[in-house]
Structure 1
Amino acid sequence: MTATAHIPDTNADFIRLGSGTPGARQVALVPGVELPLFTLDLPKGLRGQAREQVALRQLADRVGLREGTVEMRPFMAGAKPDNWTRVLISDPDRMAQWRAVQCRAVLPDYLSLPSADGVWTVQGEMVDGTELIMVRLGPPDGFSAVPDIALRLLRQALNGPKPRAILQLGDPLPGLADLAAEHAVPLVDKVEDIGGIGLPLPQVLAHDELSCDLRNDPMAARARLARQVLPWRWPLLIGAVAAALWAAAQIVAIERIEARIAGITAQTETLIRQNFVKSGPILDVRTQVSRALAEARRAAQSEGGETDPLDLTRRAAEVVAAARAEPETIRFTPGEGLSLILRLADFAAAEQITAALIAEGMDATLVESRVSDGNSGVRTEIRIADKEVTQ
């Protein structure tokens, strides 16, 4: 993705919100710790409100919060207008406070750092008696955190695509020099030194950062425009009504799916409580179930090395989940093994998932595949013997 070119603002005037009254030409900065960035997987070609709605749904699924708990803003710095994939989120009450600020723009503090492709910028600052580290991971990314967490996030980011240089402004971040040396990334403390490495000089507000003004709410602006539709636009309204009826049908379908998901979640928690976590809170299902399975596996091995049905079920479940199959029944019978009844898209999918089970070392046999009356897809029964396949 090619970043949109913008003229850098060499006279940018920043002020920390809360440290004084911002002027009309000043950019008010708010703590970046209150505005984390999330990367979403949004379809290409999806634009406007539809893109924002899909982003909101993905965000709700990822964060696990109810609708209205957080407020979202598209992060378009370094991205094309309708091709953004990152969003800023914060508390709705805080967003409401920032919307009332009279100034040039309200931005997360890390967007005030100079930025360029291939260059990461790090700068520390005291905010209300607490040291915060602002980090800009090139034009499309950034964050703010206390020093220990900032260093940990930088270490994690360096496990991915590495920058060609790190620009450290202000007081040094303890441990950053060692981290840069460990990954063979040049660390400089002057903007001018970046040019000596053959990289573009980092610039302030040169990547459309002002488009991330937290006072702008694209969805609210479209809602105000909808209320101003003129009477002569009835044909458009009729089309909108038809689209609304279609959307209502989709919403009903989505609500049914959500109700089914809620039911599956409740059943899952019940099974976990019955079989894995007998007491105490269920905080992290994956970790707690994995721990219980590991303990059961160790117990089974200590009793003579008999076939572990829990391990066989776990391995089969991983293959089923990877194939995005919908399980109806999973049953283990001593002597016969594990029986899976799955709902798949077609007969070819049944053959593929059987092959995948065999590839994972399981003695899998496709027992039956048939089309169910009144239901889409194929109902498939696969049996896995309680023994390993000889590779």
Structure 2
Amino acid sequence: MFETFSTGVGQLNHTWGTIDSSVPGQITLRGDSGVMEWPLGRSTGHGYGTYTVTAKITSNGEPGAAIVLWPADDVWPGGELDMAETAADGSSRLYGTVHWRKDDGGNGFQSTFYDGIDPNAVHTFVLTWAPGRVSYSVDGKDMGSVTTRIGADAANGGVNVTIGALNNNPNTSITLYDVSYTPLASVPAPPPTPPPATGGIVPDATGTARGTAGADVFVATGKLTLINGFDPARDVLAVPVNPTTVRAYADWDFASPEGASWGMRVTWDGGSAFLRWGSRFDPAKNAVRAGTAPPPAPVPAPAPGRITPDATGTARGTAGADVFATLPRAVTLINGFDTSKDMLALPPGVASSAARIFADWDRSSPEGAAWGVRVAWGDGSAFLRWGYGLDARSLISG
């Protein structure tokens, strides 16, 4: 990958805010703006290799501009790698940062400061991502390495990154001159991961289950809240039957004795489990089917719901299974789309395989700005407010 910005943003075509591309061979971000590659899934973007960005950060002693390698699955906190940003102490020093998701769901990070350089000059920033190591250099000068909590790329069981830059301060700016990525010549395959041993997991006095420091098998018997004990890198969840489908989506839970929190809801035929702060659960990897229940009877397709935009210009579902039909313009579906049963009908001639699904931020809703899921096709799209968990199985070809 090599981008010189000779004709605008080029390959960094996921943009927001105002991008100044009036000078061929460079783009400048001011105010609240950004450019990046599209984060469309863990295997998109780029993996292990060398990332090179020539840029100038104008900080005026304030943070706000940054060169960011964003997780390709668009999940944060996660494996974000920052190539350059400005310290918040007024020194104008530049630094790079490795981020990871802590066991409690918070953001862990380790920074490397770039001492001995002019923070306001044009520099060539280089980040090399290899198994177990992230190394930094500026203008050919080694700035150090980080060797703890380094995530793997998609080819080795982890998540790739996408290249981008942003500015979120009216007093700062960043100009990009070129961006490139070169994969590592060869990366040895990691040793096979042994299957997790069954842990002695039982509900404790608060009615929740907790894991140990090792690999655990959590056995679900109904609605069970798993708190701070589920590690998606090694643990598995055994569901009590052999369901046709195991699905996972972001959810909010108020039942925990330790307080309400965001997490991941895992559902199967007739049951569910809630993982407190347990994002990045992968049904294909973290769910173990238990039992030999006969396949359930076919579920009839949901009848089309009588769904039309309401007075606010948004569409809402009923308590039953609904088919949301897209309109010629983007429609915001608020609090009405149930990923376990509802469907989204695409316009005539649009195949579900051609639609892109990605996390997005929307400010247009009368009910307030929110994160959600954007389904895009051709020149149209639909935004599902808080609609996490949507995948191609919820789409109907037009």
Fold shared per TM-score above 0.5: no
Looking at secondary structure, tell me which structure has more strand per residue.
2
**Structure with greater helix percent:** 1
Give the TM-score normalised by the residue count of structure 2: 0.23
Between Structure 1 and Structure 2, whose CA radius of gyration is higher?
A: 1
